[in-house]
Amino acid sequence: MAFTFAAFCYMLSLVLCAALIFFAIWHIIAFDELRTDFKSPIDQCNPAHARERLRNIERICFLLRKLVLPEYSIHSLFCIMFLCAQEWLTLGLNVPLLFYHLWRYFRCPADSSELAYDPPAVMNADTLSYCQKEAWCKLAFYLLSFFYYLYCMIYTLVSS
């Protein structure tokens, strides 16, 4: 039983993974909120409601945008840590997501300073369902990796 760097990595990633799970859940809720306007149809058609709804959308998109970088950086931190700890299997599991994140990050339209989650773009039903699926997948991935990290942490702690 030794407190190795790998064990430290797993402990840290366990904590951060909890944060990522939280992010994913938040994303799911946010997209659901964007998708459905919880108002009666008549209310929806209301000009006064329009403003409120629009504010909501903008606020959500703003938060979504704010969360992108933390999430991506936390995840890259994992990868770097596992790379340093030479945990190749764990690294291998995380690399696909890392590449996906990089792709997402750099794919944004060339001229726009905006990242993703631009209100008019996000409200497209296609984009929205894509984002929602993405959020669910990430949630699943983070949950699984949470338990995997937990297992690995104990394993490294016990084995060495």
Q: Which of 22, 109, 133, 160 binds other proteins (CB under 8 A)?
A: 109
CA dihedral for 23, 145, 122, 133, sign (positive or negative): negative
| Distance of closest approach, residue 128 Cβ to other proteins, in angstroms | 7
How near is the Cβ of 131 to other proteins at its closest, in Å? 12
- Smallest distance, other proteins to C-beta of residue 38, A: 9
User: Does 28 contact other proteins by CB under 8 A?
Assistant: no
**Out of 1, 42, 103, 106, which residue is the one contacting other proteins (CB under 8 A)?**
42
53/59 Cα distance (integer angstroms): 10
Query: Based on CB atoms, which residue is closest to other proteins, 1 or 47?
Result: 47
Closer by beta carbon to other proteins, 2 or else 58: 58
Asked whether 74 and 19 are in contact (CB, 8 A), the reply is: yes
Q: Which of 84, 95, 102, 123 binds other proteins (CB under 8 A)?
A: 123
Judged by the rule CB under 8 A, the positions of this chain that interact with other proteins are 34-37, 41-51, 53-55, 57-58, 109-114, 118-120, 123-126, 128-129
